Structure 1
């Protein structure tokens, strides 16, 4: 009986780890629920929006301070790897999203499909790409450079893609230049300042990593709460039904599967080492929530923001759970392959 109980307890613990039900994931769900029942609106929403933008600028300042010069130099030299990651992030993802339009548009509706397509135009994640690459024993230096480069170039490429493929054939008066300037001021300028002040800022950050992590996650939670509050006030949950949510989850899952399969086989066919294959796999298959929601707030002014950011929120959770499982599997595989059996 005790053995059965132990196995059941172990199985439940493994299942929780498998589903990657970490505190941040739970808090993200709580923010959506809080915004659904107690949305912030009116003057309070305006003040909260200003505070959120300040927090976002500080967040990217800290991101800039984290990136070492050595990682930049080492990463830049690995241009083949970065080219493949760039191709997956800004070519393969958008092509799959555009080809899926005849299927997804009738299922999701225009606003959710716009959000799905916008997600395909976003850059890769930074922290989770590096973290998963590290866990799986991949090329961490290349992942740092590739993911950071993806975010920097995405500040310019994403608005242009939105202009061409979302607003290009609509009646909306959209100016990508204005959006690029706003995104540059909000995200890029703080990032560069952080990089310039790294010798002074990074030692302080290294002393309080838990506070830096809490600020990082807290900023994303603020952004999500703000975006969903405005969406709920505009009637988000009256427009999105259960069946539509199921279709959206399935669409994000299929998209991630396609990209991951392609990233795995393409990197292998191109002759990259195991460590480089892992970096390409994790950097090329993910999309950023941290940059995505602030960009959406700038690019989709006057549009149903909750509908636009819902796909990236769902995709974000799916990619974290899936990558967590795969990273742990690759780490175990690496350990087995490098275990040396010594004779007695």
Structure 2
């Protein structure tokens, strides 16, 4: 079979399945089921709490250590692209999240609406945004810089927006200011401080941050769901509620894909920059969202908040994989 031809038969089906299903989501769903069926209690729960806190601290330290500050500032010179990415992530998306709060509780449960609002305040992804930009023949360097800046800004902006918007629309979130400072901001700042000495080594050993990312997400997912199960927070979540949540997430994603693509054209961006804006401006970070939720919210609320983040993550991967291939075919 020629190398440029897609696989057929059973191999083709497997390849398509892998393209639509993120292995990380499969692992998360597995630990979610474990948290429902075998929740942590007593001493085991106390140990997991310590492990979760340590994992989050290490995760955000590595975020700071692997981001080259000089490269981020250099990327700001393309101000139209970077400014439009930040506007999509931290202005347009939150507006959509606030509009979802207007839905009746019969359409979407209040705690799920809270999760959708939190989702809208998260930074963009890095890995999938860059990968899909590359597949679609877009500006990869611009995507790397934009997604990186989004994540750096999100360390500060997301907690601030949560405090500003969510306490007004959803009541107290149960988060701790000291937790935000020493579990998120301080480790990131320390990582940035030592970045000139260890940053290159961290970037060369990408498997270290990848394992840390996934391990932290899985620990946070299990402990959050486990604590919610013990407290009875899942008693009112139904299959219908989950389906409605998927519909809401799909509509938000469709709106953002449309706005970022057409908006890039209105701004006069070249096609590669429009692709980068499309891929970075329409995504939200699961890797940042779940660990940060465990710091910002009470355990029961953090578990409910996790559902929209996971649902949107899977939808954005499946949809953008199709969009990226379509854009690539247009170029070819």
TM-score by length of 2: 0.87
How far residue 332 of structure 1 moved from its aligned partner, in angstroms, is 4.4
Distance of aligned partners of 1:211 and 1:173 in 2 relative to their CA distance in 1, 3 Å threshold: closer
* Corresponding residue of 2:120: 120
Contact 1:167 1:174 in 2 (8 A): no
Q: Distance in 2 between matches of 1:78 and 1:330?
A: 23
1:265 matches 2:262? yes
The DSSP-based 3-state class of the residue aligned with 2:156 is: helix
Could you tell me how far apart the structure 1 residues matched to 2:268 and 2:309 are? 32
State the match for 1:250 in structure 2: 247
- Contact 2:60 2:187 survives alignment (8 Å): yes
Paired residue secondary structure (2:105):
helix
Q: Distance in 1 between matches of 2:51 and 2:105?
A: 35
RMSD: 2.5
2:185 is equivalent to residue 212 of structure 1? no
Judged with a 3 Å threshold, the aligned counterparts in structure 2 of structure 1 residues 11 and 52 are, in CA distance, closer, same or farther, namely: same
Q: In the alignment, which residue of structure 1 is the partner of 2:154?
A: 154
Distance 1:141 1:104 in 2: 42
Deviation track 1:224-273 (CA, whole Å, cap 9, x = no partner) reads 11111112222244211111111011111111111111111101121111
- Matched residue SS, 1:271: coil
**In 2, are the aligned partners of 1:125 and 1:147 still within 8 Å (CA)?**
yes
Alignment of 1:313 onto 2:285: no
Distance in 1 separating the partners of 2:202 and 2:330: 33
What's the TM-score, normalizing by structure 1?
0.85
Distance 1:121 1:199 in 2: 30
Write the distance in 2 (CA, Å) between the matches of 1:60 and 1:123: 14
Q: In structure 1, what is the equivalent of residue 236 of structure 2?
A: 239
Pairing partner for 1:230 from 227, 231, 234? 227
How many residues are aligned here? 326
Distance in 2 between the 1:295 and 1:214 partners? Answer: 17
Aligned to 2:295: 298
What runs of 5+ residues in structure 1 fail to find an aligned partner?
1-5, 337-344
Gaps of 5+ in 2: 1-6
Query: Residue 3 of structure 2 corresponds to which residue in structure 1?
Result: none
Pairing 1:95-106 to 2, within 5 Å after superposition:
95-103=95-103, 105-106=105-106
- Equivalence for 2:54: 54
Contact kept in structure 2, 1:71 and 1:144, CA below 8 Å: no
